[in-house]
Chain A
Amino acid sequence: MRDLRGDVKRTLGLRLWLSGGWLTILALAALCAPLLAPKDPLMQDLFLGRMPPFWMDGAEPGYLLGTDSLGRDVLSRILYGARLALIVALVAGTLTCFVGATLGLIAGYYRGWPDRIISRFVDIWMAFPPVLFAILLIAVMGTGLLSIIIAIVIIDWTRFARVIRAEAMTQGAMDYVASAQVSGQTRFSTMLTEILPNVLPTIVVLLTLEMGIAVIVEAILSFVNLSISTDSPTWGGMISEGRTSVHQAWWVLVFPLITLFLTVLSFSQLGEGLKDRFDPVLR
């Protein structure tokens, strides 16, 4: 029996290409920052302050995207800033996803008292304004990479818990879960083998969204000077510095902003693209 469905070629999708491409470039840039960066990102030269990007009059050769008010190379700082942004996106995103999805899965599938406890926590948690909560946490724990990651996980796990709980509830009501019970499968292994694969596409989409959000939260914390020390370049820190001189040197603000925007956009589009690829019904 021949099935024509196999003959339909599904293209990889432009959005997956573009978002994946941008993130690959960014990852390479972060890894090879010392090789790629034309200048030392911390080197100051007050005589070369607020130099415009290369296509404008008065540009200094070697400083492709111009310099900030202290004469530091904007391009090099963006490249080095990608390191922190990506570390935060990957580590904080994955940890948040793991904590939130696990709790959501348990609450949605087991119901009963685990659900009551977890849901109550989520309700209370979501009543805090997230950015204030983050600032408060950093103030207590002190600044540093670890504090940023912990703050993001503590704030954002509820996002996963809520959505995955609802999704696990829907899947838990399906007959194939009852069927697993009829065959004598334990509750725990049913959760892992039957429910988890069916909520995985949602988890992937949320994870990529969360990576984008983690980048933004890090930028927000840098903006209020609560990220890691001002010595290491961060996109949020650059935006914050650029804001003060936006009328004299817009490039200090705009280039990190564009990078941040493209990165967050790519993460969310990557999630959408991956969801389509994962779904056997759509494949």
Chain B
Amino acid sequence: MKKQITRVNKEKEYEEYVKNKVPKPNYLLNCLWAFFVGGVICTIAQFINNLLKNSGLNKTDAGTVTVIIMIFLGAFLTGLGVYDKLGKKAGAGSIVPITGFANSIVSPAMEFKREGYVLGVAAKMFSVAGPVLVYGFGSSVIIGVLYYFFIR
């Protein structure tokens, strides 16, 4: 009986010990990094967007081309191994922008290349992008249908 009690105590002690050992995120520092890197990525996109608009593209097309260029940059920098180094510091600052979406495609695709070009590269590139597209397309269709029946 006594033994059991001490064991329970030990377990609790251990849980406390683990809790104290797991590094607590430095909220302020992480947020500053995310703010800075996210901000810089969007500023670069704004610069590209302004260039495109000045060269005569209309607003919608300029937006699309900017997104395409940012995706290219994100994918390319991931291939070079630069983007993941940035991601270690920047956290969400490098994940939330569309460049991070490109990163989430290229990273697992590269990693699983040895499993082949169909079930390796082509399948694994959607391990994060797939859910994003499912929920994104899904919510857009639902919103469109609701819009048709209730607002139009």
Chains A and B are bound partners: no
